[in-house]
Structure 1
Amino acid sequence: MSDVNARIEDIVKKNDIVLFMKGTALFPQCGFSSRAVAILDHLGAPFETVDVLQDAEIRQGIKDYSDWPTIPQLYVKGEFVGGSDIMMEMFEAGELQQLLADKQIVGA
């Protein structure tokens, strides 16, 4: 496993919810990242963020790690969930809320 993969693995495993995004939760740097943060905030889910703009290795490495070409990327309990569009679809269908409840992160 490469150094960047090991760093990503460590981040993903240590946090119940982690969002790899452009910018920070308080200052997202793209609309997709902003939407992802808004969804998690709305659900009251505690989450960590990783600003891929601050680390070029992480920015490319996360795409390779998940085999997903875009950012943001959401991980819940170590599992890749998807990007902003998938998060929105799951949220609108109630599936994201159910996932967080099933993983005992937030109430149903």
Structure 2
Amino acid sequence: MSVLRNLTRNYTIASTFLIPLRACSTSALSSELRQRLSDMVAAKDIVIFMKGVPTAPQCGFSNAVVQILKMHGVEDYNAHNVLEENEIREGVKSFSNWPTIPQVYFKGEFIGGCDVLLQMHQSGDIVEELQKLGIKSKLLTQAENEAKKD
């Protein structure tokens, strides 16, 4: 899992070439903004920077992240609407060195965007990652209950 995270954290696909994300970074962060973002990602075990809010996502990728978490029964997380504050919207991209929104953090560690969370969901890796946070996936509970019936 960490290999995937490291690869996706440092590279993005543009056409057929891998381009270091550092080349995509637009500006350096002020120490105040860096501290503010650090505080935001440390405030909860799961933090999402998204377009809109969980009850009303304003982009399909943000909605997908919310739905994945919902499928796993994750309700206790902080979601920050980047559309409300452009400084946060642009700053979080430099902070994570990831050019797109949404962005997901587990225990202060940048996980990735919608594509990475979707891959984690499809592979089942998200169940393990949630367990590290003390969260038992609702899908795992359902599977265990079904296995008991058989």
Contact 1:25 1:37 in 2 (8 A): yes
Measure how far apart 1:47 and its partner are: 1.2
**Matches of 1:85 and 1:71, distance apart in 2:** 11
Aligned residues: CA RMSD: 1.2
1:18 touches 1:75 (CA, 8 Å); kept in 2? yes
- TM-score normalised by structure 2 residue count: 0.69
Choose 1 or 2 for highest CA Rg. Answer: 2
Look up the match of 1:48: 78
> Whole-Å Cα distance in 1 between the matches of residues 131 and 73 of structure 2?
12
Q: Does 1:38 align with 2:98?
A: no
Report the equivalent of 1:4: 33
1:4 and 1:59 map into 2 onto residues whose CA distance is: 11
Post-superposition shift, 1:103? 2.4
Alpha-carbon deviation of 1:105? 2.9
Residue identity in the other structure for 1:8? L
CA–CA distance in structure 2, aligned partners of residues 57 and 106 of structure 1: 35
SS of the equivalent of 1:75 reads strand
Q: Distance in 1 between matches of 2:56 and 2:106?
A: 22
Partner of 2:17: none
Other structure's SS at 2:56 match: coil
Q: 3-state SS of the aligned residue for 1:87? A: helix
Q: How many residues align?
A: 108
In the TM superposition, what is the alpha-carbon distance from 1:10 to its structure 2 partner? 0.4
2:123 aligned to which of 93, 97, 103:
93
**Correspondence for 2:10:** none
Partners of 1:97 and 1:82 in 2: how far apart? 16
1:65 aligns to 2:129 (yes or no): no
The runs of at least 4 consecutive aligned structure 1 residues that moved more than 4 Å come to: none
Question: Where does structure 1 lack aligned partners over 5 or more consecutive residues?
Answer: none
Partner of 1:44, secondary structure, is: coil
Same amino acid, percent of matched pairs:
44
Query: d(CA) in 1 for partners of 2:36 and 2:94?
Result: 13
TM-score, scaled relative to structure 1: 0.94
Task: Identify unmatched segments of 5+ residues in structure 2.
Answer: 1-29, 141-150
